[in-house]
Amino acid sequence: MLSSIYQPTTYATRSHYPTVSTPTGTLEQQVGNTPLLHLQKTADSFNIPRTVQLFAKAEWFNPSGSVKDRAALNIIRTAERHGQLRPGMTLLDSTSGNMGIAYAMLGAARGYKVKLALPSNASPERIAILRAYGAELILTDPLEGSDGAILVARQLASADPTVFYANQYNNSANWMAHYFTTANEIWQQTHGHITHFVAGLGTSGTFTGTTKRLKELNPDIRALSMQPDTPFHGLEGLKHMETAMKPGFYDEGLADENVVVRTEDAYEMARFLSRQEGLFLGISAAAAVAASINVAKTLDHGVIVTVLP
């Protein structure tokens, strides 16, 4: 008699299932603690000496894919603690894209409706993501950019006092998210060896919060803010501060130096990083790397850290 070549699997009863050993947790617990990438190949390609190390925080590891998860989560939690955001309420704000996606994701997870003023020339992909999360979109004049969206959000907030106006450009919970998380992660990941911090300016929350904390840990750390070289630029999410509406917590004197990046250079860097490093980044992230390379070229030694938002 031939024995069967198929032996049915005997499954354990539920009480005998093994304990899950991989990291688990809620969606919100996945925000932060992002990897720090060593961009040695990029540094070598631009003839940066090996005594100058270039690192970048990979913020796309956050659940919604950007650094904005940190600020959005802290804004929501802070508003809840202060009784400003309660069950059944709608969260309202303006956005150029990523912050809105973070709001929409967290709003869905926490049971809030989300209403966003967004320039109508935002990418179709971003608009599709926001709508997939259930956000209500108010598309604003593309010629007025993010500043126009801010004005529309303010008008909507004034007309409807029942909403929670998150006001990311003037909400201290924005930059404090980076003071308590991003900066401390960078300090720990570099074992306190960071000498230069580079970040772009949009709301300026990432730069402000991270810089304030890093300078408390070591006042000798140099902080360099990055922004577009002209008011008419293609660096989505970044502001040309001289001509834009300045965020309420933006401190012009906080940066030790301001670095400008041309849109063309950011696009060129994005192509380089995808083909040479395998990093498929957005333009604002590529601009941050371009700015960091410019800084690295002026140094004989140092540890530069930037944020890929």
Q: Which residues are part of the catalytic machinery?
A: 68, 284
d(CA 261, CA 212): 23
Nearest-angstrom CA–CA distance, 266 and 262: 6
Distance from C-alpha of 178 to C-alpha of 81, rounded to nearest angstrom? 19
Burial bucket for residue 173 (CB in 10 Å: 0-12, 13-18, 19+): buried
Instruction: Decide: 65 and 129 in contact? Cβ < 8 Å.
Output: no
In 3D, which of 254, 269, 121, 124 has the Cα closest to residue 199? 254
Provide the residue type at 36 as one letter.
L
Phi, psi of 278 (to 5 degrees): 75, 20
What are the φ/ψ torsions at residue 169 (nearest 5 degrees)?
-80, -10
Let me know: does 166 contact 92? Beta carbons within 8 Å: yes
Q: What is the secondary structure of 104-135 as a DSSP string?
A: HHHHHHHT-EEEEEEETTS-HHHHHHHHHTT-
